Amino acid sequence: PSVFDAVAIYRGRFAGHSPIDNLRRIAGAKGYHWRAVVAPDSSRQLVAARATVEDQFSVKPGSIITAISGYSVQAAGFTVQVIDKGSGLTIASAPVGYTAGIGGKANPYPNNSLPLYLSDLLPISAPGLVLVSVVNQATAPNQLGVCIQIAEKD
């Protein structure tokens, strides 16, 4: 059984589909609207060398995290983990890294990343709290941020 079996619109639909297929299904589902959250909040986006910053935000239970993207002023980048505080589920088994290169090739926008569309979407359980943990990988202070894309319940 999948975590999606608990969410009515997903029951049995997502096995073997691409992330874009997942987004199409959500976009066609009634009762959701799109929302983006930037973390950490703007007052804490300058992160000390090798420091960890945590931020938290709330969404309606049953909302779904669909993608993340990020930016980093320092080439060393950062790692991020997004956690549903109600269930303890995360967007990935290990923190997701953001650096100045993608797949060993130079990124034409070295301080920014394209959205990472999650192939395993993260439905948010009650009470609807999401924790974002960011670790600066640079040996200098780093201006950074993560954009979390959410299909939020109406």
Q: What is the pLDDT of residues 45-83, one digit of tens each?
A: 899 999 999 999 999 999 999 888 888 888 888 989 999
Rounded to a whole number of angstroms, the distance between the first and last alpha carbons of the chain is 26
> What's the pTM value of the predicted model, to 2 decimals?
0.78
Percent of residues, the chain, with pLDDT higher than 70: 77
Amino acid at 78: F
DSSP code of residue 112: B
Q: In the chain, helix, strand, coil percent, each to 5?
A: 15, 45, 40
| Cα 81 from Cα 72, distance rounded (Å) | 15
pLDDT digits (tens, 9 = 90+) for 74-113: 888 898 999 999 999 998 877 888 765 444 444 444 455 6
SS3 29: coil
- Position 4 pLDDT exceeds 50: no
Integer Cα distance of 40 and 46 in angstroms: 9
